[in-house]
A and B are shown apart, each in its own frame.
Chain A
Amino acid sequence: MPEGRTGSQLDRNRNSLLVLAPRRIAGTALSLVLTFAGLTAVTFAIARVMPADPVLAIVGDRAHQDVYDAVYRELGLDQPIFVQYLRYLGQLFEGDLGVSIMTAQPVLHDLLRFFPATLELATVATLLGVLVGVPLGVLAAVRQGRWLDHLIRTVGLFGYSVPVFWLGMLALFVLYAKLGWVAGPGRIDIFFDGMVEPVTGLILVDSALAREWEIFRNALGHLVLPAGILGIHSLAYLARMTRHFMLEQLGQEYILAARVKGVPERTVIWRHAFRNVLVQLITIVGLTYASLLEGSVLTETVFAWPGIGQYITSSLFNNDMNAVLGGTIVVGVCFVGINMGSDLLYRLVDPRAR
């Protein structure tokens, strides 16, 4: 807690937060609606400017004109764009995201398959980043200027500067092809696929629920490398930001005061300084997690990982708008959700932000 704040002030802040809750919720709901209206509208506008032709994605480049025209009408592309947009919104309210051109499946069905793959990867990577990166950042700040600090910073810098794609290929080559410590590209050995009931779509969770430990280990073997590669990236970033924020706090007067008063160093670092770092850290972690949930196309490509990044990108190249819209909405929900969550969290953690 920063010096000079009393308990009663804090309580007042908490109370007003509760009082304001209904209005806040209404406001949040409105802004959510606006954000998604904006999202879908922009995506529709993108469909218009994209040079890729969705009809050709279906019929192929050799189609005769009559076939082309028939499919053009089938997709409803002969309607004005705002009619298409309204029609889409109408379907959306009924929970229908349409059918994808590229997979011939309902978009919802695709999303339920591709998003958990990305979620699994992003969550493990972020956990790695938070659980390792943040303590390392604190450690570096505490040991500022010593060899440990330099080591952590240097490793972090390399971790952040190296092209992920390149590192991924290299890691596959060494850890998979040469040493055989981890499993290769793909989410699971394909002959295991479909052996566990997909409850959550997260293979690790599903196989653990089904107590299929062989499948669990197989999936983990496939996950470790891509998650590690993505994790190194966020680890480096988080360690660096944590160190920066901690140094800021450790230079403040209230820390000096606490030390002068004889508060144990551990308490100074974790109770006082780290608490105040949390606000900024939450924002950063939220942003990092959200950007991983968007799917990393390059990593997914290297590791043949059937995630949402690949799905959205390939759909985009074929101007498969139902799929792109569906994917965009899911990514959008994640982003907005995580941002609101971190907003709320740091309002709770730090009264100054009110």
Chain B
Amino acid sequence: MSAVRAWLLVDVPRSRWQARCQRFFLAWLAFRQNAGAVAGLVIIAALVAVALLAPWIAGSTGVAPDLGNRLQPPGPVFWFGTDELGRDIFDRIVWGSRITLYIVGLVTLIVVPIGLAVGVVAGYVGGWLDSTLMRLTDVFLAFPRLILALAFVAALGPGLENAVLAIALTAWSPYARIARAEALTLRHSDFIVAARSQGIPHHRVLAGHVAPMCMSSVIVRLTLDMAGIILTAAGLGFLGLGAQPPTPEWGAMIALGRDYLLDQWWVPAFPGLAILVVSLGFNLLGDGLRDVLDPKSRS
């Protein structure tokens, strides 16, 4: 163990591989220092664990109505109470974690590459390419988000997958703008000029130097957006274009349970709390990651 540690912490790395490992290890050490970030990681890890172990954690499938047990308050039998159709809210939240992970994962996978690529290229290359890409971005930005999402879903057909896809396709434009703003300030900076003068081709400068510098802003924005994305998915579900009942999607649970907020507070409260905790987790994690990933703000 200590040998590995020594290898990881040696002052002068012998190989590219060692340097890479060292960088990650140092990042991890920095990350570990950040209590909030670790808390975020724990939350996300717990979410993944719950999603994986859902069949063993939940006592029921969470979809079959039991009208005799409707609107039971939280107690020893139903930890989080039951909803308007008598289903165990705890079980539904447990099963819903899978859906949340699915949404979050898919959106990230689509949004970040598109937004980053468009923004970085536009900001770095400039000229007509910048104008064209930014006009395209503006059209998407200028479009009311929900309308565009609805149009995509309408074209693709209702359902959770299509709703997520539609959200992702409408969500990339702010990332492009942020990445472009960063790239603009970077393109004439000394280290980029230095890299170019060493004969590194443009595409590698973009991928190896410019894009990583934009990552921190993008990650901050992405983690901050996660709650919004989950809620937008819920909104689409409520409008009949996202997850369909009886799917225990958290946002849809709030949407359908909101009439119960005053008297049976637990119906919308626990799904709301679940969303709160998970987005808090993402936010904390994002904060920590940023400190670690961002070469600019590392002290």
A residues bordering B, Cβ < 8 Å? 27, 31, 34-35, 38-39, 42-43, 45-46, 49-51, 153, 157-158, 160-166, 169-170, 173, 237, 240-241, 244, 247-248, 251, 279-280, 283, 287, 290-291, 294-295, 297-298, 309, 312-313, 316-317, 324, 327-328, 331-332, 335-336, 339, 350, 352-353
Closest to B281 in A: A161
Contact in complex: B138, A313 (CB < 8 Å)? no
A160 contacts which chain B residues (CB < 8 A)? 224, 227, 279, 283
Contact in complex: A39, B143 (CB < 8 Å)? yes
Contact in complex: A237, B290 (CB < 8 Å)? no
* A25 CB to nearest B CB, Å: 14
Contact in complex: A34, B151 (CB < 8 Å)? no
In the bound complex, what is the Cα–Cα distance between A100 and B37 (angstroms)?
50
In the bound complex, what is the Cα–Cα distance between A336 and B137 (angstroms)?
11
Contact in complex: A335, B272 (CB < 8 Å)? no
* Interface size class of chain B, counting residues whose CB lies under 8 Å from the partner chain: 35 or more
- With A46-B150, A248-B297, A279-B181 known, 7 other A-B pairs at CB within 8 A are A27-B131, A42-B148, A43-B147, A163-B251, A283-B181, A339-B177, A353-B181
Contact in complex: B297, A35 (CB < 8 Å)? no
In the bound complex, what is the Cα–Cα distance between A162 and B273 (angstroms)?
8
Whether B139 sits at the interface, judged by CB under 8 Å, is yes
Contact in complex: A336, B142 (CB < 8 Å)? yes
* B262 CB to nearest A CB, Å: 6
Contact in complex: B147, A35 (CB < 8 Å)? no
Contact in complex: B224, A173 (CB < 8 Å)? no
B24-46: which have CB < 8 Å to A? 36
* A125 CB to nearest B CB, Å: 15
Cβ-neighbour of B185 out of A42, A51, A166, A350 (below 8 A): A350
Given contacts A49-B155, A313-B146, A327-B144, contact A336 B177 (CB under 8 A): no
Whether B237 sits at the interface, judged by CB under 8 Å, is no
Contact in complex: A46, B290 (CB < 8 Å)? no
Q: Produce 1/0 per residue, B207-233, CB < 8 A to A.
A: 000000000100010001001000100
B111-167: which have CB < 8 Å to A? 131, 135, 138-139, 141-148, 150-151, 154-155
Q: Lowest 3 A-B CB distances belong to which pairs?
A: A335-B142, A332-B142, A46-B151
Cβ-neighbour of A169 out of B150, B177, B261, B287 (below 8 A): B261
* A167 CB to nearest B CB, Å: 9
Contact in complex: B185, A49 (CB < 8 Å)? no
A38 contacts which chain B residues (CB < 8 A)? 135, 139
* B43 CB to nearest A CB, Å: 11
Whether B204 sits at the interface, judged by CB under 8 Å, is no
Contact in complex: B235, A298 (CB < 8 Å)? yes
